[in-house]
A = this chain, B = another copy of it.
Amino acid sequence: MFLRGLTSIVAPIQRRSIMSSQIPTKFDQLFKKVDELKPDFIDVVAQAVAIPAVSSDESLRPQVVKKAHFIVGQLESLGFTDIQLKPLGIQPPPVTNPNLELPPVVLSRYGSDPNKKTVLVYGHYDVQPAFKEDGWDTEPFTLVVDEEKGQLKGRGATDDTGPLTGWLHVVRAHREAGIEFPVNLITCFEGMEESGSLGLEELIAKEANDYFKDVDAVCISDNYWLGTRKPVLTYGLRGCNYYQTIVEGPKADLHSGVFGGIVAEPMIDLAKIMSTLVDSDGKIQIKGIDEMVAPVTPEEHKLYEEIDFSVDELNKASGSNTALYTKKEDILMHRWRYPSLSLHGIEGAFSAQGAKTVIPAKVMGKFSIRTVPDMDSEKLTKLVTEHCDKEFAKLNSPNRCKTELIHDGAYWVSDPHNAQFSAASKATELVYGVKPDLTREGGSIPITVTFQDQLKTSVLLLPMGRGDDGAHSINEKLDISNFINGIKLMGAYLHYYAESKEN
């Protein structure tokens, strides 16, 4: 609770009163400079937020590219070198404009000292769509600095424009404070994250032994604290296998008055199959999945016990009292380290308001399974399709049924005590006066696994914002204290990591 009101102005005083003697002079100077430059830093965020770089809106593609150029301008002014706007080619279908170029990836370097470690920082400059009519209190593409609440409000404030610019601010603070930058920095800023990171995986693979060849560690600042009070470091993500079960019968949609009761309806078969996948208490009913899940060790269990979280926070986040578990450990484990199965919807059926007396001819039930260690994606798909085939066979239906994988993204778990995580933990203690919680995420950030696999490096997820920032929602915000402390944290992490003996 004591951190809630911590602003960038109050923070140094409080910190000093707790542990003034431990703070090395260089951090003192650096953090003072960060505090001094706060108005400038916020101004950069405001300029960036003003560009509506919505990657999912084809008509706004020029704005996405404009934002890439804005970042290039910032990099140039800060002395970054080897700045490249890497083209990713034409966007694959479905697109309206068949010649639509993907937005470029912004690569750049700050420093190239062979005696220093090299850290690649990833961020994305594109944003989710936003319209004032959606329910925003203010214009989404005009950054509002709410001094009373201590918040920056606007689309991209926390996802991911604020954190992305954080890395630039760290460089500027070092320059203006006259402190040597501790590592070689490489930026990898993409403009398609909110639309599936199209083309990025290929670029990373291509640059692994080229632009990225000296990278020792990757740091991604594109997630959030678990709650609103305690900083976290994130060491794991669930994967996602997305499926569809297709049931088809008649050649075209039929009228339920004329055909109801005399033809086998695909929707009836599909409802039966979908109802067998998972129970209302969240238990997956597909045989063989539980056996693939790595058992919980006592050490791992202890990790969850130590985390600051409660069922009230979950209920607040979902806006309901529909939590399946009340114990903190159960909630966290089922979010992070157990698989889950969600039913998303049905394509091809009636889905509008009102009443339509249609018998849909072809329906596609969509569901996905969040995957965790040690689930094997191929084996999972085999279990899923066999289950659905078996359930369909029970129905004795003359319709046709097929279940297929739409896409899969691997889970990721890192060692939360390696050099990077240790450095980030130490930096968190320095800036926030508290050890960070070690968290995972229930969702996926597929690019994490790509970086780890392609660059053969450790990846750290170092969030800047809080769990209530409303990343994809209306009135997206970033607390100013998180912004300023986040910049300090990024800086301290780079120094501690530079000093660590191992990679």
Q: Which residues of A contact B (CB under 8 A)?
A: 94, 238, 240, 242, 249-252, 254-265, 267-269, 271-272, 274-275, 278-282, 314, 317-325, 331, 334-335, 338-347, 349-360, 366, 368, 370, 395-399, 406-407, 441-444, 472-473
- Give min CB distance, A176 to chain B, whole Å: 38
**In the bound complex, what is the Cα–Cα distance between A334 and B263 (angstroms)?**
10
- Could you write out 16 A-B pairs with CB less than 8 Å apart? A251-B318, A252-B319, A254-B318, A255-B443, A256-B344, A262-B282, A262-B335, A263-B318, A264-B281, A264-B322, A271-B275, A274-B275, A320-B398, A345-B356, A346-B349, A354-B406
Beyond A250-B319, A358-B344, whether A443 also contacts B271 by CB under 8 A is: no
Contact residues in B for A268 (Cβ distance below 8 Å)? 278-280, 342-343
Chain copies in complex? 2
A357–B344 touching, CB < 8 Å: yes
- Give min CB distance, A467 to chain B, whole Å: 9
Contact residues in B for A275 (Cβ distance below 8 Å)? 271-272, 274-275
Name the residue of chain B whose CB is nearest to the CB of A342.
B256
Name the residue of chain B whose CB is nearest to the CB of A334.
B261
A350 CB contact (under 8 Å) in B359, B366, B399, B442: B366
Contact residues in B for A395 (Cβ distance below 8 Å)? 279-280
A265 CB contact (under 8 Å) in B94, B317, B343: B343
A250–B280 touching, CB < 8 Å: no
A271–B335 touching, CB < 8 Å: no
Q: Which of A252, A265, A314, A398 has the most CB of B within 10 A?
A: A265
**In the bound complex, what is the Cα–Cα distance between A255 and B249 (angstroms)?**
32
A262–B314 touching, CB < 8 Å: yes
A320–B260 touching, CB < 8 Å: no
A257 CB contact (under 8 Å) in B260, B264, B441: B441
A257–B442 touching, CB < 8 Å: yes
B324–A264 touching, CB < 8 Å: yes
**In the bound complex, what is the Cα–Cα distance between A249 and B314 (angstroms)?**
13
